[in-house]
Every structure is written in structure tokens, then in C-alpha cells.
Structure 1
Amino acid sequence: MRAARLIRMALLIQSNPGLTAAALARELGISERTVIRDAQALQEAGVPVRSERGRVGGYFLAAGYRTRLTTLRPSEAETLFLSGLPSALRDLGLSDAAETARLKLTATLLPSVRQAAESSVRRFHLDAPAWFREPATPELLPELARAVWADRAVELSYAGPARDGAPASAVARVVEPYGLVLKAGTWYAVVRVPGKREEHDGGWRTYRVDRITALGPVHGAEGPFVRDPAFELAAHWEAGSAAFARALLRTTVTIRLTGQGLRRLPAVVDGAAVADALASASAPDPVGLVTLELPAESEDVAFDQLARLGADAEVLAPARLRARFRERAAALAALYGADPQEACPGEAEDQR
């Protein structure tokens, strides 16, 4: 474990001369004291690491020194070749470049390592889109990706979703595209609106790329925009996704569940809702029933979700939702209480 960390530290210093102890600690997930000890260990192993104090100080390797730790092991090559996502590269217009890079990398590997890398490609494949939905590549995605690579501000038009029968609203604005995210087969653009940086959300916006209807350069803009050095796409997306999921939960439903219903609940409702619901759960009553408060997006969504639990879930409140389940139960009782031949007299006559 420590040996792998020392290798990573040496490669980090080689790739980014001047990294501070604090920066290395963040990258390696260790304390600054451990960074100092690891630097001493590298020196004792013959790696000429030196530290410099001052405003432009940090850790460096001796001038002209290059580590010989860059040879890939078979397991590392397997992991590297698994990291590609063919469908995403194709959508971004990078499949040719990625294939060329893969061939160049393959050519530099030892035969044993090359075989391990090619073997992983034959054994594993990541299919990102969800089932029962044909993924479509947004027409403007490659152009937007080029703007992301170049840190180039763009002017876009965005059609928001239709709400309550009203037509979709169109928005036109200048944005700084920071990154692209592929989530369950759908591409999203994480952007920053320059004029709204002082707002509580920092001016950050997330747009579905397939709703971007027009995209073009900003007239009069010179050169790339200055990226926020503290921005990390993965962390921003994770935090935004969690906040978005919770923001959707606008109503609360009181339900009583059997043990089976409690076990099945995570399979039918949102993960954030499940966590909050379980935190509110009562102790089982004498017959094993548990009462809890379930956050839900709306009564309609709660009806569709809880209907899948059948008799293992009883809605106690709100009264309007309980009435809907009572009506559904009566309709099912009437449907299944009748003899199927009596329910379809025309079909019975045809059979005679």
C-alpha cells in the first residue's frame, strides 16, 4: 500500500514540479506530516526529491531526473483499457483520436502487458444508457465539447421542459462551459453564467444538451475564459445531483408497511426518499407493522410507486391519496371478483 503511494507521489512531483505538501496531501489522501515522511523515504530509496521554501516553493526532482516507475504492470494496463467509454467518445467526436491513442499505447507495452490489456477489452464492456430507451446523440454535442476543451465561452439557446400543458420556455444566454456529464444515456452540460457569479449558487447551471437548440461563439470575445481553479466536475455533479434529488421531494406521505413492504421499499422509491423515510420509521407494532413518513415528488408519483407494493403498504395520509387507493382496491375487487366468462359474454359466445 505504501509502496504504491510512494510511486504515485514521485510521479506527481515529476509531472507537476512545485507541488506543495498540502497539495500532495490532498491528491494522496494523507496528512502533510505523512507527505514529509514519504519524501524522506523516497530520498533514502535514491529518488532525488527536494523541497524548497518560499512563495514559489514546493517539492521538486533534481534537474534532468526522470523516474523509471512509468512501466505499466498488467493489472494497471487492464484498468487503463477499461477506463474508456466507447459510446461517449463517439458522441463527443473523439472515437478516432481515442483509437489512435490506444494503438500508440499498445505499441509501447511489453508483449505480456499488451496481452493483458487486450484481454480486458474482450471481457468487459460498459453500456451507459438505460434499458428500453434508444440513445440519441445531441446534434450540438461535438461542438459543445470543443468549446469545453478550449475553455471558450459560447452563446446558446435552451428550450426548457414544458410544464402543466404550457409550451417549453426558450432561454438565450452567454455561458462558460466547464464540463460534460453522461448520466444514464443523457448528456448534461455544466456551465457558469458570467454575470451571475455573485449569486448564492455562484452562477452555475446544468443543461440537458439535447435541449440546446442553437450554439455559437460570443461576438467580441477574445481568447479563453479563466476557469475557476477550485472547480472539480465530479464533486460539483455529485453535490448538485443530491441537492436536485432532494429538491424534488415536495410532499410527504404517511404509510404503514409490513416487513415485506419495508424490504421492498428501496426498490420502488428514490434513494434519498428511502433514507429519510427509514430515519422516521417507528418501532414495529405487535403484528410487525412499521409506520413512517415517506418524502415524495407528488401524490401522483407516490401513488404509482406505492401501488407496486400492493397489500404490503397502506397509505394513512394524506386523505386524498388514501381515497385513491381505496378506489383502486374497489375497482380491482370488482374486476377480479367476477367470473371471467361472465365478464366477457361476447368472448364466451365466440367460443361456442
Structure 2
Amino acid sequence: MRAARLIRMALLVQSSPGLTAAALGRELEVSERTVIRDAQALQEAGVPIRAERGRAGGYHLAPGHRTRLTTLHPTEAETLYLSGLPAVLRDLGLSDAAGTARLKLSATLLPSLRAAAESSARRFHLDAPAWFREPSAPELLPELARAVWSDRTVELTYTRPAREGGAPGTVTRLLEPYGLVLKAGVWYVVGRVPGGPTGGDDAWRTYRVDRVTALARGTNTGAGPGELFLRDPSFDLAAHWRAHAARFARALLRTTVTVRLTQSGLRRLPAMADPAGAEEARASATAPDAAGRVTLELPVESEEVAFAQLVGLGADAEVLAPASLRARFREHARGVAELYGVQPRDQR
């Protein structure tokens, strides 16, 4: 394990001279002290790595030196081929470039490694779309991907979904497109509106690409679409998306219901309700009563959704509030009892 880490460290320093011990530690998932020890081990092995102080400091290899640690292990070659994700690359308009790159890689590999592409394709397949949904790439996705690659501002026309029974609206936004995300078969573009907030969550916007009806990339001159934008080097697309997804999931939970659960119901709750809401509810649960039941506040999207989720818990869940939802469960219980010829105990 340490040998693999030393190889990674040498390659990191070769490809990104000036990385600090802290930066290398984050990449290698070790402490700064371990980075210093690993650098000494590389020096003892003949790799001319050194740490420099000052503004342009960090770890460097001796001028002109390049490691010879680039020979691929069979598993590494197979993993590299897995990164192709043919369907995704096709949607982005990059399938030809990816195919050429794989051919070039094959030409440089040892004969024993050239079967890596076939080996990995036979064993692993990524099916990104959700069940019961026909996958379809948005028409403007390749053009938007080119803007993301070239760091050029776009003007997009976006259909906003209807809210609270209203009609859908159309908006036009100038956007600096930072990245594209594929989530359960749906593409999203993440970007920043020029002239808007420069920091925090308010600086960023997320749009579903299949709701983009028009896209202008401009002429590459002057302000507006097509203008080159300066990318914020601190922006981390993966970290931003994780935070955005968590906020989005929690924002959907606009209603709270009060529920009394048996211990079995408490254990089963995460499988029946929204995971974010269930976790929050379990944290707020009261101490068990004499019968072992707990009372908690469960965040839900709506009473309709709450009924669909909690009805699966059967007698392990009793809704206490709101009264309208409790009444709905009472009518549901009476209907089930009548269906099976059981006389309900509660005739109220």
C-alpha cells in the first residue's frame, strides 16, 4: 500500500510541481508528517524530490527529471477504460474523441494489456437512467458541453416549472457554465450569473438541461454570450453538487407530521420515508413510553406524500397530527376492516 502511495506522490509532483505538504496530504489522504516521511523515502530511492520554501515553494522534482513509473498495471488499464462511459460521452458529443484516445492508449500498451478494454466492458456496465424512463439526451447538451469545456459564457432560455397551480414561465439568463452533472438520467448545468453574488451558495445556479429551450454562445467578442470567463479555481463541482442535492432534498420537505411509532416502526422508518426527513425525525424522537413507543416530528413533502409513506408501516405508526391526516388514516383503517370483514374497535 505504501509503495502505491509513493508512486502516486511522485507522479503528482511531476504533473503538478509546487504542491505543498498539505495539498499532497489531501490528495493521498494522509497527514503532512506522512508526506514528509514519504518524500524522504523517495529521495533515498533515487527520486530527486525536494521541498522549497517561499511563494513558489512546495515539492518539486529536479529540473529535467521525469519518473519512469508510468507503466500501467493490468488493473489500472482496465480501470482507465472504464472511465469511458460510452453513453455519457455520446450524449456530450465526445464519443469520437474518446474512441480515438482509446485507440492511442491501446497502441502504447504492452500486448498483454491490450485486452483491457474488452475485459472491462464484459464485466462492468453503467446504466445511468432511472427505471421506467426512456433515456434521451437533451438536444442542446453537446453545445452546452462545448461552452463548459471552453469556459465561455452562454445565454440560455429556460422553461421554469409551474408552481402552486400556476403556468410555467420562461426566463433568459446569462450564465458562466462551470460544469455538467448527470443525476438519475437527467442532465443539469451548474454555473454562475455574471455580475451576481461572488461568494456563497447564492452565487451559483443549477438548471435542468432538458428545460433549456434555446442557447446562444455569441461571437467570442465583447460582453454577453461567447465571452471568455475566468473560472474560480476554488470551485469544486462534486462538493458543490453534494451540498446542493442535500439542500434540494431538504427544501422539498415543507410539511411536518407528528407520529407515534413502535420500535419496529422506528427501525423501518428510513426505508419508508424520505431519508433526510427520517434521519431528522429519528434525532427528535422522544424517550420510549411504557409500551416502547416514541413520538417524533417527521418532515414530509405534503400530507399526500406522508399518507403514502406511513401507510406502509401499518399498525406500527399512529399519526397524531395534523388532524386532517389522522382522519384520513382513520377512514383508511375502516375501509380495510370492512374489506376483510373485521369490525373496527373505534367507531368514532
Whether TM exceeds 0.5 here: the answer is yes
Cα deviation for residue 187 of structure 1 reads 0.4
Moved more, 277-286 or 12-21: 277-286
Cα deviation for residue 235 of structure 1 reads 0.4
Q: Are 2:109 and 1:109 aligned?
A: yes
What is aligned with 1:183? 183
Cα deviation for residue 48 of structure 1 reads 0.8
Cα deviation for residue 199 of structure 1 reads 6.6
What is aligned with 1:315? 319
Q: Distance in 2 between matches of 1:29 and 1:176?
A: 32
Q: Are 2:318 and 1:277 aligned?
A: no
What is aligned with 2:146? 146
2:195 aligns to what SS in structure 1?
helix
Q: Are 2:25 and 1:28 aligned?
A: no
Q: Are 2:233 and 1:229 aligned?
A: yes
Whether the 8 Å contact between 1:252 and 1:294 is mirrored in structure 2 is yes
Q: Are 2:256 and 1:245 aligned?
A: no
What is aligned with 2:166? 166
What percent identity do the matched residue pairs reach?
Answer: 74
Whether the 8 Å contact between 1:195 and 1:203 is mirrored in structure 2 is no
Letter in 2 for 1:159: T
Cα deviation for residue 116 of structure 1 reads 4.3
Unaligned runs of at least 5 residues, structure 1: 339-352
Summarize deviations over 1:241-279 as a string: whole Å, max 9, x none.
111111222221111223443333222211111111111
Instruction: Give the counterpart of 1:292 among 290, 293, 296.
Output: 296
When normalised by structure 2's length, the TM-score is: 0.91
Cα deviation for residue 307 of structure 1 reads 2.1
Cα deviation for residue 313 of structure 1 reads 1.9
The count of residues paired between Structure 1 and Structure 2 equals 338
Q: 1:306 to 1:174 in 2, by over 3 A?
A: same
Moved more, 233-242 or 21-30: 21-30
Moved more, 229-238 or 93-102: 93-102
What is aligned with 1:84? 84
Unaligned runs of at least 5 residues, structure 2: 343-348
2:189 aligns to what SS in structure 1?
strand
Whether the 8 Å contact between 1:274 and 1:294 is mirrored in structure 2 is yes
Moved more, 233-242 or 253-262: 253-262
Instruction: Give the counterpart of 2:306 among 293, 302, 309.
Output: 302
Letter in 2 for 1:71: T
What is aligned with 2:346? none
Q: Distance in 2 between matches of 1:255 and 1:237?
A: 32
2:115 aligns to what SS in structure 1?
helix
For residues 38-77 of structure 1, what are the structure 2 equivalents within 5 Å? 38-77=38-77
Q: Distance in 2 between matches of 1:122 and 1:312?
A: 45
Q: Distance in 1 between matches of 2:200 and 2:234?
A: 17
Q: 1:116 to 1:141 in 2, by over 3 A?
A: closer
Cα deviation for residue 83 of structure 1 reads 2.6
